[in-house]
Amino acid sequence: MLAACILQEEWWEVRQVLTDVFKKLVGQDLSKEQISEKLGSLKDEHKKVISDVVAIHSSSLRLKLVQNTAALSKTVLSDFDWKLKVSIV
């Protein structure tokens, strides 16, 4: 049971790292060669898989990032204290 929990924690850590990598790579709009350079010391087969995924899915990944940002912004604006804004002006 403990081994399963450790594996699950490791999986979530790997998932979070890959999510961060995809966000950075999609946001920079890089070519496959530039992506491989950015990935540094990873094995070549891993670099190829990541660069292929980013190249193929960049538009859908970018759309998802924009949607996540818009959803976050909407929440912030709905919670904004408009009385405070009026008193500042």
Alpha helices in 29-43 (DSSP H): 32-38
pLDDT > 70? residue 80: no
What whole-number percentage of the chain has pLDDT above 70?
A: 75
Rounded Cα–Cα distance for residues 25 and 87 (Å): 42
For the chain, the domain total comes to: 1
Q: Is the pTM of this model over 0.75?
A: no
pLDDT > 90? residue 45: yes
pLDDT digits (tens, 9 = 90+) for 3-35: 667 678 888 998 998 888 888 888 888 888 898
Domain that holds residue 49: 2-88
Calculate the alpha carbon distances from 83 to 33, 38, 69, 75 in Å. 51, 46, 25, 17
pLDDT digits (tens, 9 = 90+) for 58-77: 889 889 888 888 777 666 55
pLDDT > 60? residue 83: yes
